[in-house]
A = this chain, B = another copy of it.
Amino acid sequence: MAERATTRASLTGGSAQPVTDGAPRAIVAGATGFAGALAAHLLWRNPGFQLVAVTGRSEVGRRLDDLYPRYRVPLQIEALDLEAIGAIDAAVVAYPHAAAAPTVGALRERGVRVVDLSADFRLSSLATYERWYGAHPRPDLLAQAVYGLTELHRERIATADLVANPGCYPTASLLGLAPLARAGLIADVVIDAKQGISGAGRTFDETTHQSMAGENILPYKVAEHRHTPEIEEQLAPLRAAGGARDEVAVLFQAHLVPLDQGELVDCYVTPTREVRDDELLELYVDAYRREPSVEVVAAPPGTREVQETNFCRVFAKADPHSGKVIVLSAIDNLWKGTSSQAVQNLNVMFDLPELEGLT
């Protein structure tokens, strides 16, 4: 007779993993957090990969579909033991900053191709990393890392062994600013970002308690946001390609607002010359005409339009009164901002259709 379990996993039904023969074997290291769990969910339903293990530094022995019933991944969370797991081809590492690098190193030494969700390999400048995050555990790997904003670096990602998945704020900001930067139009920029509470992750504190986060708009990390150097470092070559000879010091300000998944960045750009709306529209449509995950829109995008998708919606408009240009960029912070972009990168790395398992 069936025994009453205490798990939230289903006692009936159950979804088998659809896997193509000979698909690369993948793991998610750090599957207990929001980002890792979603990456596991997306890999589980992606026939191009065989998800063979999910690991965690806590919750070992618990099933992932008990911890995250929504995702229905019926694997048991293991402690990370690369010997025991056996041969694998691909890994998503979803550890906190500084904790990720040693695991990424161990995986690389076994020849595993890695997408790392932490900040550990996003910055090419070691000095900049250490100013914001402290000592780097594996600076030797920095040179081989490719910045994983798919739309900017698709070709290099295809052959990369280590992809540093961008932060969600830089993802939205850079997709919004790239066309202007390449056209040499950015003299100065202020970025005001708003994000749902999932952006705080599986953290249990005043920031995420519904009675404190609900009915609130909460600015945080004023004048000290770690994503500034990441945006600046990626913006520099784009601006240079557009003819800029100077550097731009970005002001980035973030806020939590009471929803789950969604992120909007407003970029207030002082342009290098006057631009009109029709020129902006042409610039953006040209830039993204062949991009399957970027939607240029002609009305201000709400984040709900991209929730639980890999899409980024971009809208640009001139403000003749102030002489500035406003660029709005909307993503789902957990999807395109984190985990679906990680899978998008894995698809590119393993020569699969770029959006396999994501639509």
* CB-contacts of A1-23 with B (<8 A): 1-13, 15
* CB-contacts of A219-264 with B (<8 A): 219-220, 222-223, 228, 249-251, 253, 255, 257-264
Say yes or no: A321 contacts B251, CB within 8 Å: yes
Say yes or no: A197 contacts B210, CB within 8 Å: yes
**Binary B-proximity of A201-213 (CB < 8 A = 1, otherwise 0):** 0101110111111
Say yes or no: A319 contacts B217, CB within 8 Å: no
One of B2, B6, B202, B266 near A192 (C-beta < 8 A): B266
CB-defined contacts of A278 to chain B, threshold 8 Å = 1-2, 4
Most B CB contacts (10 A, CB to CB) among A213, A291, A320 go to: A213
> In the complex, A257 Cα to B198 Cα: how many Å?
15
One of B205, B315, B326 near A251 (C-beta < 8 A): B326
A139 near B: Cβ within 8 Å? no
* CB-contacts of A292-321 with B (<8 A): 292-305, 307-308, 311, 313, 315, 317-321
> In the complex, A296 Cα to B192 Cα: how many Å?
22
Say yes or no: A215 contacts B215, CB within 8 Å: yes
> In the complex, A263 Cα to B263 Cα: how many Å?
18
One of B2, B34, B197, B259 near A217 (C-beta < 8 A): B259
With A214-B259, A304-B70 in contact, is A268–B268 under 8 Å at CB? yes
Say yes or no: A259 contacts B216, CB within 8 Å: yes
A273 near B: Cβ within 8 Å? no
One of B45, B268, B297, B303 near A10 (C-beta < 8 A): B297
> In the complex, A268 Cα to B219 Cα: how many Å?
13
CB-defined contacts of A212 to chain B, threshold 8 Å = 304
One of B45, B249, B260, B326 near A223 (C-beta < 8 A): B326
A interface residues, tally (CB under 8 Å): 98
Say yes or no: B305 contacts A220, CB within 8 Å: no
**Binary B-proximity of A316-359 (CB < 8 A = 1, otherwise 0):** 01111111101010100000000000000000000000000001
CB-defined contacts of A106 to chain B, threshold 8 Å = none
A69 near B: Cβ within 8 Å? yes
> In the complex, A240 Cα to B4 Cα: how many Å?
29
* CB-contacts of A150-172 with B (<8 A): none
With A222-B315, A323-B249 in contact, is A268–B190 under 8 Å at CB? yes
* Chain B residue with Cβ nearest A322: B251
> In the complex, A260 Cα to B311 Cα: how many Å?
21
A281 near B: Cβ within 8 Å? yes
Chain B min CB distance to A307 (Å): 6
One of B205, B216, B288, B324 near A302 (C-beta < 8 A): B216
Say yes or no: B13 contacts A223, CB within 8 Å: no
Chain B min CB distance to A289 (Å): 5
The 4 closest A-B pairs by CB, nearest first: A10-B295, A204-B204, A251-B322, A223-B319
Give A contacts to B, CB under 8 Å. Answer: 1-13, 15, 34, 45, 69-70, 190, 192, 194, 196-198, 202, 204-206, 208-220, 222-223, 228, 249-251, 253, 255, 257-264, 266, 268, 277-278, 281-282, 285, 288-289, 291-305, 307-308, 311, 313, 315, 317-324, 326, 328, 330, 359
What would 11 A/B residue contacts be, using CB atoms closer than 8 Å? A3-B281, A10-B297, A13-B292, A45-B359, A70-B304, A212-B304, A214-B259, A215-B261, A249-B323, A258-B258, A258-B259
